[in-house]
Every structure is written in C-alpha cells, then in structure tokens.
Amino acid sequence: MKRLLIITLCLFAAFGARADRVRVRLYSPNTISTLNVSFDLGNYNLYADDNLLLEDMVGEGRSVLVRAEDKMLHVSVNDDDYGRFSSIRLEAVDSACILCINPEGCKQRTYEGNLEVRMQPSGNLLLVADVDFETYIAGVVQSEIYGQQSDIFRIQAIISRTWALRNLGKHAADGYNFCDHVHCQAYLNRCIRPDIMMGVVQSSGETIVDAEGNLIETPFHSNSGGQTANSEDVWRSALPYLRSVEDTFSLHMRQSDWVKTISIDRWLAYFSKTHKLNIKDTAVRDSLLHFAQPTRRVRIMGVPLTRVRVDLKLKSTFFSVEVDSTTQSVILRGHGYGHGVGLSQEGAIRMVGLGIAYDSVIRHYYTGAVLHHDPSANGAYVENYTQHLARIIEEDKNRQTQTHSKKDDWLGRLFRLRDREEREEVYIENQQDIEQDWEYEW
C-alpha cells in the first residue's frame, strides 16, 4: 500500500469519529438505467461480482459505462465490452482519488472513495458510495449550508456528524447507512472548497450530547422566521434540548419571509374537503380568513399546521392569513423556511457574522445541550492539516485570475504537499508543479 494512504488514514483517525467509513446511496430519488463513470484523479481497481476485472487500470482517460440490461449490468470500459454482471465495484487505489458520476438524465457529480453499482429488483441501478466518514461529513456540509466563514462550516459539521453517528443504522436493512437526500442529509457532491474542509477539520472530534452524555438529535432548517419550534409541535416527541427559542438572528435573511396567494374558494374548500370543517359557519370562516401568529402556533381551527404546510406546499408553518377582497383571495404572509426545529442555518450564519462563538451558537439552538470534545482526537495531526489547508486557501486568493486545471483541486494539492513533506523536500509557494511530482509513487 502506498504511504500516501497511510498518511490519510492517520489524518482522518485524528478526527475522533466512531465510524471509519460509511455507505451512502447516491441519486436516491432518481430512477437510473444507464451510468457513465469517468475519473478526475487517481486510479481504481474494477471488480465485477467480487472478482478483480481490471487492476489499477481505471483512471484518467478512461470511462466505465454501465447499462441495465435484462436485470443484469452490462459493463464496458472505453468501448471495450466486458460482459454482464450482477454488481460491480470501483475501488480507489489510494486516498487521492476522485471519480465523476454521470447517470443518464441526472446532473453530473464527483465523489471520493469507492463506488458500488448493483441491480435493484425493479431492474434499475442502485449506486452506493463507500467513503471515509469525515469525507462524507465535508460533502454534507457543502451540500447543506452556504457562507464564507469557517465557523459556519464548523457548526454544520458538528451537527451533521452528531446526526450521522446517532443514525448509522438508519438504512441498515437496505445495505447502506444513509441516502443522499433530505430523508437523511444532503450529500450532493464531494467537498470541493478547501475553506469548507477547513471548518470540518477544525471541528474534529466534536459532537453534541445531552446531560447524560448521549448523542442528541440535531435537526436543522434553513430559517426559523424569528422563532424556532418545539419538537413536539412538529413531531411526536418532546425533547428537552429542542425547545422553542426566540431567534431574531434569522430575521432579514434570504429565507426569512415569504408570501403566497390562494383564492378564497380554494382556501376554504381545502379545510372543508380535507378536514371536514363547516365553512358555512360564520365563526369558522372568520377564523380561517383572519388567522394570525404573532408567535408560533400549532393548529388552525384544530388542524395541525404541519399538515397544512405539506398539503399546500408552504415554506413553513409560521404564517398569518389576511383577505384581499379586491381579488377575492387570501394572502399568506409567512416567516422562515423549513420545519423550524433545532438550528436555523441562516440564524447561525448571522450569529457567526456578529462574532458569536460557534459553541454559543450551538447552545442557543439546542437548549441545555453540551458540546463534547473527543479526547482521542489527535491535535497535532489536525493542526498540521489545517496549516496545509490554510496555505492552499491563501494560494487561491493570490491566483484568482489564473486558469485552474483538475490538478489544482485542493485534495490533489494537499497530497502533493504531504508527498513532498514525506520526501523531506522544501515546498516553494507558487512553484510550478512538475509532472514527476504528480505521478510520484512510493
């Protein structure tokens, strides 16, 4: 095994996670029958039905085409036909490997780690990434939140890590840990931004626990609209750390306010047909047409607002109703985006921008929760890793006008730095990388 892989394992062992690798179903909402895989970095072994088909030969300049055909996988590599199989696996030869996944009819994505493809009973393809746990967390952070400051990414990494460790067995019966959609956490690409990876690394070994030291549930949403919700107002359980809190930090952000207009007839008919309310009753009509939420409420005329939100495709349950008699319509003036429980991402972004410490942000949204630091996390490795990432980030600032190639990816640059360090070479900033550096193998 290359020393490069050993270096990586040491780095990620420093993160203190209790899971080394995870299996994530990719493109989980999509129906896929044809898949093309190309390669941005590194080489892969290709296995078919657990037998080695191509060793260390699938990489840049090659592509693997997989088609569903009579409930088998028809596999070809660069137009060379290799036959039909029930499953294939692309296994990375070392840690600096990136593959590009392009299913027919879906947006292209890139991922690190290994890729498995197998048939589903429906006759469509099932894609599962086998990836390092912290690499997965970095991809989740990039998919789930926006921003520029490292503490924003650190906060998201902590709550995403806590959720993942608590829910490792969520899809165990399906043969993987998580899906890549909001049913679990969004994982829509590998982390391509070194500043996001910096925040993830800085959060190494950090999770959120309750007073007894147990990992908590860490739901989050885009924007609370000014007040978060109690867990029992949205789901069944009343959890002590998921209490409604005032959240002025979420105001005046991208998703803090919304408006939706619906005809009066449709609005009233919805409650009449779906919830059997007597809309001919003057008091009922008046309550439905003049509904206000100065603070969050749970129901409107006994109907759960969570149900109204889903049925009418509203951004949140935190809205008020007024009538426009001119157009014979009701205007829903809403606040926030999402279920409203736990951390408001835009509120967290505002708090970080105001200079509030990341741990204080977490305590604001998860009442009484405790930030736990894993004592086994190796600070020396983390410090070394963050120094290299800081150098790469600074380089990017100084060469924004230059054209970047695939070899400029932060992961490849990081491992070139580590490569030189292992060979006790001196790294000169802005020095042209030579091909021998890139292709060097131990």
> According to the model, what pLDDT value does residue 378 have?
63
Q: How confident is the model at residue 377, as a pLDDT?
A: 72
303 and 395 in a common domain? no
Check whether residue 348 and residue 313 sit in a common domain: no
Alpha-carbon span 24 to 180, nearest angstrom: 6
- Please tell me whether residues 72 and 174 are part of one structural domain: yes
pLDDT of 394? 82
Q: Report the half-sphere exposure of 149 (CA within 13 A, side-chain side).
A: 15
Quote the pTM value.
0.85
pLDDT of 296: 97
Q: Are residues 195 and 56 in the same domain?
A: yes
- With b for 16 or more beta-carbon neighbours within 10 A and e for fewer, the 210-229 pattern comes to beeeebbbbbbbbbbbbbbb
pLDDT at 416: 56
Residue 272 exposed, middle or buried by CB count within 10 Å (0-12, 13-18, 19+): middle
Q: Which domain holds residue 19?
A: 1-205+378-442
CA dihedral 316, 169, 239, 351 (to 10 degrees): -60
Query: Residues in the chain with pLDDT < 50?
Result: 1-17, 405-407, 420, 422-442
Q: Work out how many domains the chain is built from and give that number.
A: 3
Q: Are residues 267 and 318 in the same domain?
A: yes
CA 419 from centroid of its chain's CA atoms: 30
Looking at the structure, tell me whether residues 95 and 234 fall in a common domain.
no
The answer on 8 and 74 residing in a single domain is yes
pLDDT of 56: 81
307 and 276 share a domain?
A: yes
